Amino acid sequence: MISKKSKQPKKSKRLASFSLVVMGTGFVATIPFQGSFLGGLLQGGFEAGLVGGLADWFAVTALFRHPLGLPIPHTALLPKNRERMTKALVSTLENDWLSKESIRDKIKQIHFTEKMLPVLEKMLHSDSVKKGAVSLVVQMISHINLEKITPFVEKEIKSSFYSIKMCTVLQSAINQALIREYDEKALDYLLGKAEEWIRKSTTKNQLGNLAIRALDNIKLDGFLQFALKSFQNLLNEEKLGSILQNFLLSVVSSLRQTDNPNRKALLLHVRTELKNIKDNKELLEEIENWKNHLIADWEPAEKITGILQKAQQKALAFVQDSKFVDMYLLPFLTRFLNKLKEDPIKINIIENWIKKGINSLVEENHSKIGKLVQENLDKLDDETLIHMMENKIGKDLQWIRVNGAICGFIIGIFLTGIKALI
């Protein structure tokens, strides 16, 4: 297309030159016949056509250069007035054709969202958009600075733990323990451990030894002291240990029976104390302080970073999986676009945001339009600029020469005819 367009001015120029040659040849050829009416008529037409063609050739050539290279005044108008023409062109672009007001008015008439949404819907299913979306998500995940996120996460975790009231947690734990009868299970566990300890032979010896020392430390008066000494002579350490061991085993065994009154009384006491913990302010305050000290001394940064790194790697693997786009990303984007189309408020917000952004760009860069045109024109020397203009408007200018020759020929015939009649 470019080559064809560039050839058109040359063809027009050849046609204009050909018309001038025709007129000149006709003028010369009719000189011998100027004595006759028809010869004079034709000679007058060719003469006027030659004059008109030469005049228009001079006029057209004078726009771009000096005719025949002669520095005739008021010729080569474009090179001489280039700066003034450039300023006029820039001014016309900035203030008339592409003024801020005209651009804003045009922007107001365009509904960007109506044009963009159908295009986006079609583009979603193209391979290039899929690859681009995956690449974008991968880049976003990969460029997350985990070291900067870790302190924030640590602060939020600690803040959440600080906000937990231990009285609430403790009361909830107690309620669950009572509902699930953990108090009975704990008692049975302790009784089982106590029975294991009591049944040991070493325990029997320890109990006997403790009993003997206890009896030795008892101080009584008179007959009671004599009776105690007699009792000590009848029982030795082994017998006393065996008696105490059997006694304790019987106590443990009785406490293991669910219908034992002592067991019930013990459990009732334990449950009552557990329920009343919420009223023990000193204990709750101590537990709260203990919790705060633990949180203050806790340094989970390294652990949090490790968890975040694992999560980042899993997220990258998930995004790069072939199923991610078709099963997750495209359905999500499709739902988003459908909901967006059904929400005129959001559409209006986006529309206003786009237009506001474009208007801001126009406001900030409007002066660059004229500067860009001027810079591009200033880069061209006179010969290149003239050549470009001749290529763009040369066809019409050359037709002026053709029309001048033809019109001159017709007018010449007309004037010669009138002269002959007069």
- Model pLDDT for residues 290-316, shown as the tens digit of each residue: 989 999 999 999 999 999 999 999 999
* pLDDT for the residue 315: 92
Whether the predicted pLDDT of 233 surpasses 50:
yes
- Does 125 reside within a domain? no
Whole-prediction pTM: 0.49
For residues 392 and 292, membership in a common domain is answered with: no
Whether the predicted pLDDT of 30 surpasses 90:
no
For residues 286 and 385, membership in a common domain is answered with: no
- Does 117 reside within a domain? no
Last residue of a domain, one of 264, 296, 328: 296
Give the model's confidence band at 65: pLDDT under 50 very low, under 70 low, under 90 confident, else very high: low
Give the model's confidence band at 156: pLDDT under 50 very low, under 70 low, under 90 confident, else very high: very high
* pLDDT for the residue 1: 41
For residues 291 and 174, membership in a common domain is answered with: yes
- Does 242 reside within a domain? yes
| Section 371-394 average pLDDT | 68
Whether the predicted pLDDT of 111 surpasses 60:
yes
Q: Which of residues 138 and 112 earns the better pLDDT score?
A: 138
Last residue of a domain, one of 296, 326, 350: 296
* pLDDT for the residue 208: 76
Can you give the chain as a three-state secondary structure string? CHHHHHHHHHHHHHHHHHHHHHHHHHHHHCHHHCCCHHHHHHHHHHHHHHHHHHHHHHHHHHHHCCHHHCCCCCCCHHHHCHHHHHHHHHHHHHHHHCCHHHHHHHHHHCCHHHHHHHHHHHHHCCHHHHHHHHHHHHHHHHCCCHHHHHHHHHHHHHHHHHHCCHHHHHHHHHHHHHHCCHHHHHHHHHHHHHHHHHHCHHHHHHHHHHHHHHHHCCCCCCHHHHHHHHHHHHCCHHHHHHHHHHHHHHHHHHHHCCCCHHHHHHHHHHHHHHHHHHHCHHHHHHHHHHHHHHHHHCCCHHHHHHHHHHHHHHHHHHHHCHHHHHHHHHHHHHHHHHHHHCCHHHHHHHHHHHHHHHHHHHHHHHHHHHHHHHHHHHCCCHHHHHHHHHHHHHHHHHHHHHHHHHHHHHHHHHHHHHHHHC
* pLDDT for the residue 219: 57
Output the average pLDDT for the chain.
Answer: 78
Whether the predicted pLDDT of 135 surpasses 80:
yes
Q: Among 42-46, 133-137, 183-187, 269-273, where is mean pLDDT lowest? A: 42-46
Number of domains, the chain = 2
